[in-house]
Structures are given as C-alpha cells and as structure tokens.
Amino acid sequence: MKATFQVLATALVASAALSAARADGYEPTVVRTAGEAAFSGPYIGLNAGAAWGSSSYATNPGCPFSTFAVFCDSGEPSRANGPAVAQSGSGDLSSSGFTGIQGGYNWQVGRIVFGGEGDFGAFNLGKSVSRSGTFPVSFLGNAYTLDESMSTDWLITLRGRLGFTVTPSLMLYGTVGVALTDFKFSSSYSDNAIDSTFPGGTGSLSVSNVLTGWTIGGGGEWLLNDRWSIKGEYLYVDFGSTNMPVALSNTEDYRQTMWVDADLSAQVARVGINYRP
C-alpha cells in the first residue's frame, strides 16, 4: 500500500511539472521508435555504387534516295558498299561508375510506406570505337573508317516509392519514375576514294542533349536508429533512341546523308545511407 501511494504521488508530481512546463511554452521532444511510423518524414543521404551503361548505335547509308547517291543508286556498282558501311557502323558501347546524393519524404500507415525521392549522381559512362573496312566494290579507293563515341556525366531521377515493413526496422520497396541525363554522341566517316577531281567522302556529327527517360527498380532500407538508416537499391534506366544525320561531303553528284540511330540505357546498383532530421 505504501509503495502504491508513492507511485501515485510521483505520477501526480510529474504531471504537475509537465503541465507547468507546457504553460511556459515548452514541448517535449518525441523520439521515433521502430514500429511507430519509424520511416515517416524527410530524409537526405549519400550513395555509391556502379552503373553499367549501353549505347547501341546503327549506321544507315540513307537508302533509298529520290536522287542519285553513290551508296544507293541501283545503277551504280558501288551501291553494294552501302550495306558494308552500315554493318561496320553498328555495335555496343558500355562503361561504369556511380556516386551521388538523394533526398525524399515518406509517409507510413501501419506497415505500408509510400513517398517520393529525388537523386543526383555522377554518371561517368563513356567509350569510343573506330572501325575500318574494305569496300566490296572498289571506287577509286577501297577503304573507309567509321568512328563512334558516347559519354555521359550525370544522372537525375525523380521517383515514387511504395514499400512494406517486413520487420519494424526493415522495409522492402519498389520504385518508378522519370530520369534525366546529358548524352554526348559523335560519329564520323571517311574513305580513300580520292583522285585529282574527286575529294573522297567525309562527314561528321557531334550532338550533346539532355535526354528524358524512365526508370524502375527496387531495394531495401534498414533503420539503424531513429535518425540513421542504410539501404541497397537497383535501378534500370532507359532513355530511348535518337536519330542523327551525318552529311557526307563530296562532289555535287556524290553527296548524300547517312543516319546514325543511337540509344542509351543503364543499370545502377548502389548502397546508401540516409539521415532523418
């Protein structure tokens, strides 16, 4: 009985002290605990990992043409050279490397977690190839060269996330959204079909565009405490394809435009750490 009285007295004193403190404008700090909307609220963080990028490109000699073109005209023996050039100008480019920052906001209802996240990272993809070939039908000369290169510097994604807490401190989630990147691509062509009146075929193109695409992926996040968490994540990003003209300079009768179609996609695997203010 005495112990019960002491507990009640202590509770009354504490309640009175808390009421007095609130009257003075003081609000106690509430510490989030696992299971009590532990993933809710804003967060910021860092991530690092690897990105495997692919840029498939295909060169088309531009046939058929409504006017004469050396790689296209049915009456021109060197028409067979067009498919040879097209085959040499097709391939795949890839590289890797990724680090970045992220931030977002979550809402948690029971075991369901939903929200949005944005991230920015160094997306260092790049490669160059040079391919030479021999014309099936000689035309003054018999050799040509195609050079192709691509590179990117950064990646931005803006994504929605939907997750489920397997345990109070472990969430598995899926994510989908939009992606943006800078994409630089160049292509050049030259041949040795040259004489005193014929300059040979040459042409080049360089483009630099900000591409918009889509991304989908998933991951898991584990709460270390009420402020810090770590995560692992996989994303697939796809930016579609771009069609670019490569005008070949030559004599007036032998000018034409080749086309290069290049696409870009990548897979990103990374780990990260988040802080909740």
Instruction: Tell me the C-alpha distance between 265 and 230, whole Å.
Output: 27
pLDDT score at 44 = 98
The 3 state secondary structure assigned to the chain is CHHHHHHHHHHHHHHHHHHHHHHCCCCCCCCCCCCCCCCCEEEEEEEEEEEEEEEEEEEECCCCCCCCCCCCCCCCHHHHHHHHHHHHCCEEECCCCEEEEEEEEEEEECCEEEEEEEEEEEEEEEEEEEEEEEEEEEECEEEEEEEEEEEEEEEEEEEEEEEEEEECCEEEEEEEEEEEEEEEEEEEEEECCCCCCCCCCEEEEEEEEEEEEEEEEEEEEEECCCCEEEEEEEEEEEEEEEEEEEEEECCHHHCEEEEEEEEEEEEEEEEEEEECC
pLDDT at 1: 37
pLDDT number for residue 140: 67
- Provide the CATH number for the domain formed by 37-275 in this structure: 2.40.160.20
Q: Which two tokens stand for residue 24?
A: 């003075």
Per-residue pLDDT at 124: 86
What is the CB neighbour count within 10 angstroms for residue 185? 22
Nearest to 268 by CA among 108, 51, 60: 51
Domains of the chain by residue range? 1-30, 37-275
Question: What pLDDT does residue 109 have?
Answer: 96
pLDDT of res. 258: 73
Cβ atoms < 10 Å from Cβ of 121? 23
Look at residue 17 in the predicted model and tell me its pLDDT.
39
Place of tokens 């997750």: 163
- Quote the pLDDT of residue 84: 61
Q: Contact, 194 vs 170, CB < 8 A?
A: no
pLDDT of residue 192: 75
Q: Are 53 and 125 in contact (CB under 8 A)?
A: yes
Predicted local confidence at residue 257, as pLDDT: 72
Q: In this predicted structure, what is the pLDDT of residue 252?
A: 53
Segments of the chain scoring below 50 in pLDDT: 1-23, 25-31, 34-35, 65
pLDDT at res. 9: 38
pLDDT, position 12: 33
